[in-house]
Chains A and B, each alone.
Chain A
Amino acid sequence: MGNSIWVKMHGGTTHFPIALVMASVVFDLAGVIVPDSADRSRQAGFRAAGYYTLLLAALGSIGAVVSGLMISRGQLWGRGNLAHHHTFLWPAFGMVVALAGWRLVVGSRASHGAFKIYLAASVLTGGLMAAAGYWGGELMLNG
Chain B
Amino acid sequence: MRIEIKGAFIGITAAACLLAGTFSLAQMLQYPRAGDSNATSPAQASPPQAAAALSEEGQKGHNLFDHNCAHCHGDDARGDEGPNLYNLRKSDARITAIVKGGIKGEMPSFAKKFNDGDIQALIAYLRTLKE
Contacts and interface: CB of A to CB of B under 8 A. Distances in A.
Contact of B30 (A3, A74, A80): A74
A101 B29 contact: no
Interface string B34-54: 000000000000000000000
Contact of A66 (B14, B25, B112): B25
A25 interface: no
Residue picked from B7, B12, B14, B25, most chain A C-beta under 10 Å: B7
B28 A74 contact: yes
Interface string B2-45: 01101110111111101100110111111000000000000000
Nearest to A79: B67
A88 B19 CA distance: 14
Interface stretch (B68-76, B87-95, B123-131): B68-76
B66 interface: yes
Given A78-B71, A79-B71, A94 B4 contact: no
A102 B8 contact: yes
A71 interface: yes
A111 B25 CA distance: 38
B69 A143 contact: yes
B57 interface: no
Interface in B66-122: 66-72, 80-81, 107-110, 112-113
A105 B92 CA distance: 61
A74 B15 contact: no
Given A74-B28, A76-B23, A98 B4 contact: no
Interface of B: 3-4, 6-8, 10-16, 18-19, 22-23, 25-30, 66-72, 80-81, 107-110, 112-113
Contact of B25 (A69, A103, A106, A142): A69
Contact of A97 (B15, B23, B66): B15
Contacts, number: 106
A93 B109 CA distance: 29
Given A102-B4, A104-B10, A106-B3, 5 more contacts: A74-B27, A101-B11, A103-B7, A109-B3, A143-B107
A26 interface: no
Contacts of B7: 101-106, 110
A101 B4 contact: no
Contacts of B108: 140-143
A89 to B, nearest CB: 10
A65 B15 CA distance: 13
